[in-house]
Each structure stands twice: as C-alpha cells, then as structure tokens.
C-alpha cells in the first residue's frame, strides 16, 4: 500500500476540455470511473464518466484515440494493469485540449443514457463491519450485550442475493412477506410495513483467487477492482420473524440498489487514510488479518450521506431532506481484512463479485445509516419539512445515498447517486 503514490492523474491543476467536468462534484478528470451504459435506443457498452458526459471506450480504439482499451469490462475488473492503463489514457485524452475535436463525437450526455450494472455479478456477500450499526441494532435485540463475542475477532458477513441487484434508478417494489407481530397468534402474509434502507459501500472484486487458495492480506489490494454505493433495502418485520437461525433472507433479497459507476482504487489513492486505531482493550486481530501497510493506509476518507424525498415534499417543491451524514471511517475492519477473511478458507472470489461493507453508521443519531436506528426501532418518528413523519419508508419515498472523497491538496471526487423510489406492493 505505501508503494502506491498519487501521480499526474491526481494533479489538482489538471482540468478537462469537457467543460462540465471542471469543478464537477462527482466526476472531475481526477475520478474517471468506468461503467456500462446505453446511449438512447442503443446497445450497452463500456464507458468512463467525465463531468455530465460519458465517453465511449470502444469507439476510441476505432478512432485511434486509445490503445489497450479492454474488450469488455470483465477485463478491467480482472486485470489491474489494464485498469491502470485505461485511467492513464483517459486522463491524458480528456485533459489535453488537442484531442477535443476528434474525441468530442464519442461523448454522450449521461442524462440521456441508461446506466447498467457494470458486471454480471457472480456472488454477492454482505458484511457487517459498521461497528456503530452493529451496536445500535444489537441494543434493540440484546440491551445488555449489544455486540456478540465474535464481533471484534471475526469480520462478520453473510451471502446475499446477486440476481436482485439493480443499478440506481430502478424503482423498488414494496415486497409482500410473512411477518408476525410479537403479540399475534399466527403470522400473516402482507405488504411489509417496516421497509428500510441501509447505507453501505460496495466493493468490486478484481482478479480473485482459485478455490482452495486463500488471499494473503498483503495481496488483498490487487484483488479489489473498485467501489460503489450500495443500498441494502431491508424489510425489518420480515427480518425479525425469519432470521433465526440462519440469518436474513427474504428480508433483504427482494432488491439491492448500487451506484453504477466503478470508482477505482487508483482514483481513491489520495483519499486513503490510516485505519483508526482500535479502542483500548479491544483484541488484536489474528495474524492472517493483520498487515502494517493495511493499517497505515487501508482506511478510506469518504463522507457518506442519505437524503429522503417524499411524494408530498416533491409536490411542494421541497428539497430532499438529509437524514444522515456518516463516514467510511466507521468500518471496524478494512476492505483488505474483509477480502482476506472471505477467502481465508479457500473460498474463491471471482472478477465481478460484489461485497457490501454493511451499514456504515456513525456514533451519533444524525449519522445513522438506517431508519431502524434513526427511529430507534420505530419508536421515535422523524419529522420532515412537509410536516409528515416517518419511522419506516412509505410508498413514493425516494432515498438517495451519496459518497464524496476529499483530501487536502487534491480535487474531491464523488461516486454518483445511488437512488431509488418505493412503488406500492403488487
């Protein structure tokens, strides 16, 4: 990790001839995330976000404007050298105005395009490394012992559903589910009442490992292809009834929303930070999870946010309400520790697998990453500018997750929005 330094692609003086990229909160020329998009009425293709535009990769080869551009995004995931070469080329192309005239025809207005999942997701795993979230949720179930004895030894995770992951923008249909109120005699099958969001980061797996061959923690970074935002929509009433003894299932697998742009580890180099030291008295991680370089630079300087807008708020032209402002520093385990633990038993990770961090709540009420926490288990409603209240999500509600990375002396970058609206149950 210490060998990875910022380079000319991070130079804050570098600006793009794509005018909308200058001062862009998400996609200045220092970011250059990759993804899959369709121009209007056309087939999906790989592209790179720049300001409010998307540049089409394959066309650049044909035009002689790029070489070593991967044939499809799977190669960008699987081959760190290709990903880095792509970044260097795009940074050069998009910041030198002498390329403007020839490259401009290959730009598409992002607002006119459809964004797709960047990869066919093989397996999706969700972790639980947000320690404040684990404490908050644990308190609701076990006031005396919110954190279970394994939490500070094991990066806790579980398998999620890959098929129902959708890119930002696809509406979420309120699921029906089997629920049982604590005082009810029998369960019922009804539209869920306690529909919630969860603020998470997503981690895209790069080259991966063969079955039976773990990934040493020092090798974890080269197996990470990028990052996104992830909303782990959750039906709390289903979860409470179904989750014993094998964990969450239908409470989670009806829909997961991710931001469609893959923000690369290279773009995030200036925003690495030391992993916050463990509180006095916490156990030292076992050696397979410990790496000095990872501790020195495995943290992520990323600010996270959640906003909500309701149908009534939109009708009154009220802006979305900030529900939470949190930070990636609330991860008790680093991304490298997560990846290494996942493969420590020989489980094979493959290019395009997706890992969620778990909900990244902060220690205060205004930094909680789910309504379950924000409303104290549904007991304390939140009041909105429209004078409505919420404990959980209502039909028509729209939740937006955001992420921005900043560091002194560097241009800030963002992840793009991770947004979806709730439709009524069918």
Q: How far apart are CA 79 and CA 61, in angstroms?
A: 19
What is the smallest separation between the CB atom of 288 and a second copy, expressed in angstroms? 5
Structure tokens at 367: 């930094």
Q: How far apart are CA 423 and CA 396, in angstroms?
A: 6
Judge contact between 330 and 359, C-beta under 8 A: no
What is the smallest separation between the CB atom of 254 and a second copy, expressed in angstroms? 4
DSSP string, 219-281: GSGGGEEEEEEEE--EEHHHHHHH-TTT--STTTTT-EEE-S-BB-TTTTGGGEEPPPPPPTT
Sign for the pseudo-dihedral over CA of 54, 60, 66, 70: positive
C-alpha count within 13 angstroms, C-beta hemisphere, residue 216: 5
Beta strands in 198-309 (DSSP E): 199-205, 224-231, 234-235, 256-258, 272-273, 299-300, 302-309
User: Is the Cβ of residue 44 or residue 248 nearer to a second copy in the bound state?
Assistant: 248
User: Is the Cβ of residue 61 or residue 173 nearer to a second copy in the bound state?
Assistant: 173
Q: How far apart are CA 414 and CA 304, in angstroms?
A: 10
What is the smallest separation between the CB atom of 173 and a second copy, expressed in angstroms? 4
User: Is the Cβ of residue 63 or residue 184 nearer to a second copy in the bound state?
Assistant: 184
User: Is the Cβ of residue 234 or residue 326 nearer to a second copy in the bound state?
Assistant: 234
What is the smallest separation between the CB atom of 259 and a second copy, expressed in angstroms? 18
Closest CA to 55 of 8, 131, 110: 110
What is the smallest separation between the CB atom of 175 and a second copy, expressed in angstroms? 4
Whole-number Cα distances in Å, 241 to 64, 178, 249, 251, 392 = 59, 8, 11, 9, 17
User: Is the Cβ of residue 3 or residue 163 nearer to a second copy in the bound state?
Assistant: 163
For 184, the 3-state DSSP assignment is coil
What is the smallest separation between the CB atom of 366 and a second copy, expressed in angstroms? 26
Neighbours of 21 (CB within 10 A): 23
User: Is the Cβ of residue 166 or residue 330 nearer to a second copy in the bound state?
Assistant: 166
Closest CA to 191 of 423, 415, 355: 423
133 is catalytic: yes
**Catalytic residue from among 24, 132, 133, 330:** 133
Structure tokens at 268: 């995030």
For 199, the 3-state DSSP assignment is strand
Applying CB under 8 A, which residues contact a second copy? 122-123, 125, 128, 138, 141, 148, 150, 153-154, 156-164, 166, 173, 175-178, 180, 186-189, 192, 211-214, 235, 238, 241-250, 253-255, 283, 286-288, 341-342, 344-350, 353, 426
User: Which residues are marked as active site?
Assistant: 133
């Amino acid at each position: 990790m210490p060998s990875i330094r910022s380079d000319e692609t991070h130079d804050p003086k570098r600006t793009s001839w794509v005018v909308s990229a200058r001062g862009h909160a998400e996609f200045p020329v220092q970011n250059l995330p990759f993804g899959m998009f369709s121009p209007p009425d056309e087939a999906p293709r790989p592209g790179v976000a720049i300001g409010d535009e998307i540049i089409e990769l394959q066309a650049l080869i044909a035009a002689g404007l790029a070489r070593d551009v991967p044939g499809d995004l799977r190669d960008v995931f699987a081959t760190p050298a290709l990903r880095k070469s792509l970044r260097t080329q795009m940074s050069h192309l998009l910041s030198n105005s002498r390329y403007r005239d020839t490259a401009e025809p290959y730009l598409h207005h992002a607002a006119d395009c459809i964004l797709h999942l960047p990869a066919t997701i093989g397996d999706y795993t969700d972790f639980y490394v947000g320690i404040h979230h684990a404490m908050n949720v644990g308190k609701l179930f076990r006031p005396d012992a919110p954190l279970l004895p394994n939490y500070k030894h094991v990066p806790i995770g579980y398998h999620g559903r890959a098929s129902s992951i959708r890119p930002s923008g696809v509406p979420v249909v309120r699921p029906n589910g089997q629920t049982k109120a604590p005082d009810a005699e029998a369960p019922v099958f009804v539209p869920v009442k306690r529909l919630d969001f969860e603020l998470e980061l997503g981690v895209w797996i790069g080259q991966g490992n063969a079955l039976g061959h773990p990934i040493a923690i020092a090798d974890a970074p080269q197996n990470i292809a990028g990052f996104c935002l992830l909303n782990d929509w959750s039906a709390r009433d289903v979860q409470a009834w179904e989750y014993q003894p094998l964990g969450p299932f239908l409470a989670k697998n009806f829909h997961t929303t991710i931001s469609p742009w893959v923000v690369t580890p290279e773009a995030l180099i200036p925003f690495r930070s030391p992993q916050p030291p463990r509180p006095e008295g916490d156990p030292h991680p076992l050696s397979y999870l410990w790496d000095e370089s990872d501790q020195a630079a495995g943290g992520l300087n990323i600010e996270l946010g959640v906003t909500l807008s309701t149908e009534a708020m939109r009708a009154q032209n009220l802006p979305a309400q900030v529900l939470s402002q949190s930070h990636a520093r609330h991860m008790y385990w680093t991304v490298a520790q997560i990846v290494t633990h996942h493969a420590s038993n020989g489980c094979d990770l493959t290019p395009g697998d997706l890992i969620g961090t778990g909900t990244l709540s902060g220690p205060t009420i205004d930094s909680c990453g789910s309504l379950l926490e924000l409303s104290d288990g549904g007991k304390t409603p939140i009041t909105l500018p429209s004078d409505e209240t919420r404990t959980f999500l209502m039909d028509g509600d729209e939740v937006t997750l955001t992420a921005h990375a900043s560091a002194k002396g560097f241009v800030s970058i963002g992840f793009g929005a991770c947004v979806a609206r709730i439709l009524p149950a069918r």
